């Protein structure tokens, strides 16, 4: 836990309460707060954030925020809602599955389904659901999770209730563009797929990912985004497997265009670098957007588990029909989950309000830029 966390918890709660007054958006049609349609071709903005991991302390906090009856996860996310809600498309990573009245944190998660409407209220349009915890409650956990996301109007990719669903390309509208969202996990913590359901969770297989990306192009996707639950936990730097997969996936072609336009990484619990590989942006790891205090490899609480980034990318339409939508601006927004206040904190906004968070903000910045992304135009946003 950060020593400064308790010092600024009350201050941040006040800041975030003010941020909660910012305008939210609904799902379809485009929500208030999004850019108004402009005459002629225009681009779109995409934001993406890291793992939502409701540990027991997070569940307890949501119950407290709901007044002791039910669970309310909306206040936790209110501090980042202004950034999320103003994007044309916003994607998150739902690490855990939802339970049926009995809720647990680590090691086998069953989270309250009230997480889903909170994600929608924050402005998320879709979530990746392929993770090493996707099978913590078998096929029933997947079904409950996807049912709850459906009820909330949040799209999902990476796990499935049927073979047809697993084979269906999920395409979302982002301003004038059609965006396909695909998601894969390195594994399921050794848990087998449900009997007769080998398609229940999409696992990382580079040939299959490229095949799926090409199928998304064929289905009409202008932009293909791939979420990858990968990497080595607690390691700031991407591992060799991540680097190799990034090179292979970004080199794949679909006709005259790359097969994949953006890679979003999760799983490591800590922020990792951004890098432009073969002309395509890769976030190796965004970190945990929501998580309780966690113990690192040395057996002591590791504050990095409550640090993360939110990626924000501005895409411009192709110069000629059928060309690639190009990223014209790439940004990262440093975040902290304040475990005392129980809130996601936009660190740059908190810093501007006078909070003593410069050291943690700068550490996240240094990690995000550690593979030279600044030379390719990555900047820190607020």
Does residue 354 have a cis peptide bond before it, meaning omega lies within 30 degrees of 0?
A: no
User: Residue 40: its pLDDT value, please?
Assistant: 53
User: Residue 101: its pLDDT value, please?
Assistant: 93
Give the number of other Cβ atoms within 10 Å of residue 49's Cβ.
Answer: 32
| Cβ-proximal residues to 220 (8 Å cutoff; 6+ apart), any chain | 171, 178
H/E element, 157: strand 155-157
Residue 298 tokens, joined: 């040395």
pLDDT in tens, the chain (382 residues): 333 333 333 233 333 333 433 333 333 344 445 545 444 568 999 999 999 999 999 999 999 999 999 999 999 999 999 999 999 999 999 999 999 999 999 999 999 999 999 999 999 999 999 999 999 999 999 999 999 999 999 999 999 999 999 999 999 999 999 999 999 999 999 999 999 999 999 999 999 999 999 999 999 999 999 999 999 999 999 999 999 999 999 999 999 999 999 999 999 999 999 999 999 999 999 999 999 999 999 999 999 999 999 999 999 999 998 899 999 999 999 999 999 999 999 999 999 999 999 999 999 999 999 999 999 999 999 9
Whose tokens are 């309460």? That residue is: 17
> What is the four-CA torsion angle of 35, 37, 41, 46, rounded to 10 degrees?
30
| Number of H-type helices and E-type strands within the chain | 11, 17
Residue 308 tokens, joined: 């993360």
Residue 16 tokens, joined: 């975030």
C-alpha 14/C-alpha 8 separation (Å) is 10
pTM above 0.75, yes or no: yes
User: Residue 1: its pLDDT value, please?
Assistant: 35
Domains and CATH numbers, the chain: 3-380 (3.60.21.10)
Phi-psi region of 167 (alpha: psi -120 to 50; beta: other; left: phi over 0): alpha
Is the Cα dihedral 138, 144, 149, 155 positive or negative? positive
User: Residue 322: its pLDDT value, please?
Assistant: 87
C-alpha 160/C-alpha 143 separation (Å) is 8
């Amino acid at each position: 836990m950060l020593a400064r966390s308790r010092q600024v918890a009350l201050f941040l709660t006040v800041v975030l309460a003010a941020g909660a007054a910012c305008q939210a958006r609904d799902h379809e049609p485009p929500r208030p707060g999004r850019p108004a349609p402009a005459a002629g071709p225009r681009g779109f903005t995409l934001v993406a954030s890291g793992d939502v991991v409701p540990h027991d302390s997070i569940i307890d906090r949501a119950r407290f925020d709901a007044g002791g009856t039910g669970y309310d996860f909306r206040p936790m996310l209110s501090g980042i809602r202004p950034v999320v809600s103003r994007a044309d498309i916003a994607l998150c990573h739902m690490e855990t599955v939802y339970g049926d009245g009995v809720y647990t944190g680590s090691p086998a998660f069953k989270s309250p389904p009230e997480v889903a409407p909170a994600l929608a209220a924050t402005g998320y349009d879709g979530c990746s659901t392929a993770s090493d915890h996707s099978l913590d409650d078998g096929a029933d956990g997947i079904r409950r999770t996807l049912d709850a996301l459906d009820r909330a109007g949040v799209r999902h990719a990476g796990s499935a209730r049927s073979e047809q669903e697993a084979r269906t390309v999920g395409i979302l509208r982002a301003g004038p563009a059609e965006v396909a969202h695909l998601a894969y996990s390195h594994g399921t913590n050794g848990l087998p797929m449900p009997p007769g359901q080998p398609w229940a969770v999409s696992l990382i297989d580079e040939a299959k990912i490229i095949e799926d990306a090409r199928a998304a192009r064929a289905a009409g996707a202008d932009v293909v985004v791939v979420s990858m639950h990968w990497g080595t936990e607690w390691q700031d730097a991407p591992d060799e497997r991540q680097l190799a997969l990034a090179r292979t996936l970004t080199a794949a072609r679909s006709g005259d265009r790359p097969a994949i336009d953006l890679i979003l990484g999760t799983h490591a619990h800590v922020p990792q670098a951004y890098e432009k590989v073969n002309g395509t942006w890769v976030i190796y790891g965004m970190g945990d957007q929501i998580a309780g205090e966690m113990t690192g490899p040395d057996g002591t609480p590791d504050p990095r588990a409550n640090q993360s980034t939110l990626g924000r990318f501005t895409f411009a339409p192709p110069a000629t029909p059928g060309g690639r939508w190009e990223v014209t601006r790439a940004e990262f927004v440093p975040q902290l989950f304040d475990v005392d206040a129980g809130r996601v904190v936009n660190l740059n906004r908190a810093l501007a309000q006078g909070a003593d968070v410069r050291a943690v903000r700068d550490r996240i910045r240094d990690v995000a830029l550690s593979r030279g992304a600044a030379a390719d135009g990555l900047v820190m946003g607020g």
